[in-house]
Amino acid sequence: MKAHRCRVCGNPLFFENTRCEVCGSALAYSLIEDAIVPLSGGEYRAGDGRIWHTCANRDLAACTWLTADAGTLCPSCALTRTRPANGDEAGLAGLVIAERAKRQLVRELHRLGVPLVRQGSAADPAGTGIAFDLLSDTPDGVVIGHTDGVITINLAETGDAYRERMRIQLDEPYRTVLGHLRHEIGHYVEWLLLEIPDRMDAARTLFGDERADYGDAVTRHYAQGPPDDWRRTYISSYATMHPYEDFAETWAHFLHIRDAVETAEEYGILRERAVPHPFSRLVIDVWLPLATGLNMVNRSLGQKDLYPFVITAPVLRKLDFVDDAIQRYAAESA
């Protein structure tokens, strides 16, 4: 995450600030500038003279972002296809939390060059865009997942008690709303970037054959658990279930590491540096020492490890593959 400062008085700001606590300036976030900017009369006049407006979800979802046209949704909120009804107080409370995490994800995707076109919109005639269904829980539950560009999230996951119960039940090292979004967007990225004949062969050499029956893989995973030696080649036990899940888990950790290192640089914990290539150099030289130190700090405070994962050589190769894929896509798009 980026360290922001008020352009009026220089006071430090956080990503979700809507007002400066020192000078009182109204604020909003500009995705184009990747900056928190001051508002005048609810609008922001950019350096090029263009006027930007606050998102139509500023009150409903506590959205802090700007949009090009008054009364419309920002680039992040516009990706939400389904949300709780206006009278669903619990669902709307969860929506605020989920949309906050989604905004962080959308910023990451924008910086990486992943397209952020709303599926089903006029700008997406091919149907290859992305959409989010953020749903209230039901007695039968809501199945979290990705299908052809649509990501479904159960808003019950925004509740700490529910999420911790599910983490323990599924034996996961940790479970967060942002982590879910990063994982599910990994399925979209694979669908978008790699499900092309000349590219899937390379993915199969690392992640396995994605044509294996997914339903059978799920049944086997929850009946038998992961292989005994899974830590040698996978970032998590969930990644062992199916090649699709291995890629999505690897993608999620690719984003975890990038964001954590950027944050450490922005706040002076690390010296600022360019992301090296291959990505594994960043992991070995920067992330692993940083993560180890942060884990020890957490332990000194009686907390769980911040990053309770082991990154082996096979996992490093998968992370490099993900980085190469997104760089290749960005270059081709440019």
Helices then strands, counting H and E runs in the chain, come out as: 9, 11
pLDDT of 274: 62
How does pLDDT run across 290-330, given as a tens digit for each residue?
A: 999 999 999 999 999 999 999 999 999 999 999 999 998 88
- The pLDDT value given to residue 87: 94
pLDDT classification of 62: cutoffs 50, 70, 90: very high
Domains of the chain by residue range: 1-72, 75-177, 194-334
| Secondary structure string (H, E, C) spanning 212-265 | CCHHHHHHHHHHHCCCCCHHHCCCCCHHHCCHHHHHHHHHHHHHHHHHHHHHHH
Which pTM value belongs to this model? Answer: 0.94
Query: Sorting pLDDT into bands at 50, 70 and 90, what band is 275?
Result: low
Task: Identify the pLDDT of residue 332.
Answer: 83
- Decide: residue 301, CB within 10 A, 0-12 exposed, 13-18 middle, 19+ buried: exposed
Nearest C-alpha neighbor of 136 from the set 168, 97, 171:
97
CA distance 155 to 1: 24
3-class secondary structure, 46: coil
pLDDT of residue 126: 76
Exposure letters 24-49 (e unless 16+ CB within 10 A, then b): ebbbbbebeeeebbbbeeeebeeeee
| Averaged pLDDT of the chain | 93
Tell me the C-alpha distance between 253 and 248, whole Å: 9
Neighbours of 159 (CB within 10 A): 16
* Mean of pLDDT values over 86-101: 96
28-55 pLDDT, tens digit each:
999 999 999 999 999 999 999 999 999 9
**Could you report the per-residue pLDDT of 164-187, keeping only the tens digit for each?**
898 888 878 888 999 999 999 999
Determine the residue type at 190. Answer: E
Q: Are 291 and 306 in contact (CB under 8 A)?
A: yes
